[in-house]
Amino acid sequence: MKGLRILHLNSLLKGGGTDDQCVKLVQGLRQLGHEVWIAGPEGRDYSRIVRKLDLPFFPIDREGPAKIRFMIKAAQFIRRQQIQIVHGHHGRDIWPTILAAKLSGRRPKIVLTRHLAKSPASWGTRRFMLGQCDLLIAVSEFVARVLKEGVYEPDSPEPERRARPPVRGDYRKIRVVYGGIDTQKFQPREAAALRAEWGLAPKDFAFAVIGSYDQPRGKGQREFLQAAARVHAKIPEARFLIVGRGNLAPVLREDIDRLNLKGKAWLTPYCHDMPAAMNAIDCLAHPQVGTEALGLVVCEAHACGKPVIASALDGIPEAFQIGGYGQLTVPESIEELSAALERWAVQPRPSEVEREVLHARVQARFSLARMAQDMAQLYQNLLA
């Protein structure tokens, strides 16, 4: 396969799932022998990571919402480097990616990825975007459904879930490419040191929600604590950890006090080693209440051989079904969540062999290599 020349445009690089997947895709494509660059602002969290990973980086100065300089500089780079594929990832980069490609005069193929389980906010983008790009990648079948059909939940307590209208255009351009996780890092291993650091005894059964917890509702951490309050007296060895960071922390600490969970539930110090965190817990809880395009945190837990209790919401069942170890619950049902916590707290821990088998299933579908191979094949098809 002849190497391609690809530019990924990213005007944020501040962190989060979209930036993480963008950088990992570039790594994977380079390992396949393609020439790949990332263009974006200097001084951001992920531009530093790009530099640290020694990935080719084209810095474009930060600027206002119009992104005129961003587009012009990107167009010049596309022309100078004879870029064949221009790929944008954030919603705010849809039109800068399209316009930079057109301004370059090189007529590269334009690829966009929709990383969110909701429609583009602008009516104009929903109406014209698909006609201006060559390929629109959805990171799950659910996201593809949002883009093609729309999803409507008018009675949802979450405003962003009530109306997710479709885009218009040629739906043959919409393809699904699952995101990837680093299965070399997320694999079964010993994590006794981190368990001790977190105050967990060997006999404790540790449930954890792992992820950011920003207002107003985080990723269901408050619902998790409400369910824990129903379970802790029945299962004395159960512990309920909240791993991550966010501005909901004071509220969560108040919940722990109010629900009489002190000593049973707590917020851990921020953890930079997520594979160690997954191996330190006994069961991941992912009681998401907002939108969720796929839920790679579910794959990370399964790759470490851990059961998962997760909301059957948006793209989460797709992430869950590959490992299939644990239980899906009705979103926002404290009763179902608490029953699932109670059930899994008394399950025997999986053997090393069972954990390795689970890891192998996840690796076959959600590895970084698989993501890069699937995307590269679509690029090649575009240029064929």
Q: Token pair for residue 149?
A: 């059909």
What number is the average pLDDT over the span 148-173? Answer: 96
Domain 5-180+367-383 grouped into CATH 3.20.20.220: no
Instruction: Write down the domain spans for the chain.
Output: 5-180+367-383, 192-365
CB-based contacts of 137, cutoff 8 Å, min separation 6: 111, 112, 113, 114, 174, 175, 176, 177, 375, 378
Give the model confidence (pLDDT) of 228-261 as tens digits: 999 999 999 999 999 999 999 999 999 999 999 9
Q: In sequence order, what are the residues at sequence separation of 6 or more whose Cβ sits closer than 8 angstroms to the Cβ of residue 97? A: 9, 86, 87, 88, 110, 112
Q: For residue range 49-86, what is the model confidence (pLDDT) as tens digits?
A: 999 999 999 999 767 777 898 999 999 999 999 999 99
Q: What is the mean pLDDT of residues 145-165?
A: 95
Question: CA distances (Å), 162 to each of 150, 151, 152, 220, 291, in order?
Answer: 11, 8, 5, 18, 11
Homologous superfamily of the 192-365 domain (CATH): Glycogen Phosphorylase B; (3.40.50.2000)
Give the predicted TM-score (pTM) of the model: 0.96
pLDDT digits (tens, 9 = 90+) for 258-315: 999 999 999 999 999 999 999 999 999 999 999 999 999 999 999 999 999 999 999 9
**Ramachandran class of 101: left when φ > 0, alpha when ψ lies in -120 to 50, beta otherwise:** alpha
Percentage of residues in the chain having pLDDT higher than 70: 99
The pairing of strands 35-40 and 57-59 is parallel
Mean pLDDT of the chain: 96
**How do residues 10-38 score in pLDDT, each as one tens digit?**
999 998 999 999 999 999 999 999 999 99
Q: How far apart are CA 223 and CA 175, in angstroms?
A: 34
113 vs 110: CA distance, rounded Å: 10
Question: Averaged over 181-192, what is the pLDDT?
Answer: 97
Q: Model confidence over 304-336: pLDDT tens digits? A: 999 999 999 999 999 999 999 999 999 999 999
Output the pLDDT for position 66: 74
Kindly state the helix (H) or strand (E) to which residue 5 belongs, with its residue range: strand 5-9
Instruction: Name residue 163's beta-bridge partners.
Output: 152
Q: Do domains 5-180+367-383 and 192-365 have the same CATH topology?
A: yes
